[in-house]
Amino acid sequence: MVLYAIFTVIPVSYALGSSFFAQRRTGAGPLGTRSTVFVWFDNYISVLDGTQLIAGLGRLAVYGVIAVPLTLGLALLFALLLDTPGVKLRRFGRTAIFIPYAVPGVVAALMWGFMYLAGTSPFSHVTRSLGWGDIPFLEPGAIYGSLANISIWGGLGFNMLVIYTALRSIPHELIEAARLDGANETQIALRIKVPLVGPALILTAIFALLGSLQLYGEPLMLKPLTNTISNTWAPLMSIYQDAFVLDNLHHAAAASIILAIGTAVVSIGVLLLVRISTRRGMR
């Protein structure tokens, strides 16, 4: 509780309190005196009236539609494959899929950035050799897929491990009974394993969703390589720009609180939808 208070309650309370203040210049002279004044909800109104955060959330939604389903789908697929009886190199496969998760996000973004850049990309080298030209990884039409690929590559292993652990906890007798009834491995996977690992799928879905809402490192690392990504491309990049470039900490605090509330609402909404669908399925 002490650690939770130090690293969560106190910072959030400080940001919330700071969001109701602003820097104003008062007094005589060409520059005046800079002072902190209480402005009520002016910062929140300014954030919601502005276009940067709304546009960033729109781009984030497109990114999430690509990244979240693919991350969960591939994690579930690999977990089911590794849980299939008689599969070879199971331990090696599990480790190989998990290793990218251990690579720091900044390092992974830089590595993929060089593979996206036309001059250093091995993929574009192959397409140029075939006479097809460079692959536009960093152009506006492909930037969402390029960013999602970095996220999927890094987060797939963790989600796969969570689902695989849940699969290993399914009673072996239940699987054997299904085989005795004539079910093949595909039927067992779809009708027994997937429903029983539902809680793990919900957990990984929320993790993937929260990771999408906190997108920051990947576009920041790719920004020097392309003009497609601006300083305010993602909401967290916009907040960083306000706080540490424009020196508008109070405005950034208000934007942070709005983003945090939105994240909580989305997470609760997902849980409620899952609960409602589960109840209907039980009926």
Nearest to 85, CA basis, from 196, 194, 167: 167
pTM of the model: 0.87
pLDDT at 30: 61
How far is the C-alpha of 205 from the C-alpha of 150, rounded, in Å?
17
How far is the C-alpha of 43 from the C-alpha of 50, rounded, in Å?
10
CA atoms within 13 A on the CB side of 84: 17
DSSP state of 244: I
pLDDT at 28: 58
pLDDT at 150: 95
Give 19-77 pLDDT, tens digit per residue.
999 887 766 556 667 788 888 899 999 988 888 888 898 999 999 999 999 999 999 99
pLDDT at 139: 93
| Beta bridge mates, 36 | 23
> Which token pair is 128?
């140029």
Read off φ and ψ for residue 167, nearest 5 degrees: -65, -40
Give 177-230 pLDDT, tens digit per residue.
998 998 898 999 999 999 999 889 988 988 888 888 889 999 999 999 999 999
Q: Are 112 and 153 in contact (CB under 8 A)?
A: yes
Give 91-121 pLDDT, tens digit per residue.
898 899 999 998 988 899 999 999 999 889 9
DSSP state of 191: I
Walk me through the domains of the chain, giving residue ranges and CATH numbers: 36-282 (1.10.3720.10)
pLDDT at 105: 86
Number of helices followed by number of strands (H, E) in the chain: 15, 2
pLDDT at 29: 57
Q: How confident is the model at residue 270 (pLDDT cuts 50, 70, 90)?
A: confident
How far is the C-alpha of 42 from the C-alpha of 251, rounded, in Å?
9
Residue with tokens 């067992």: 188
pLDDT at 141: 85
How far is the C-alpha of 254 from the C-alpha of 48, rounded, in Å?
10
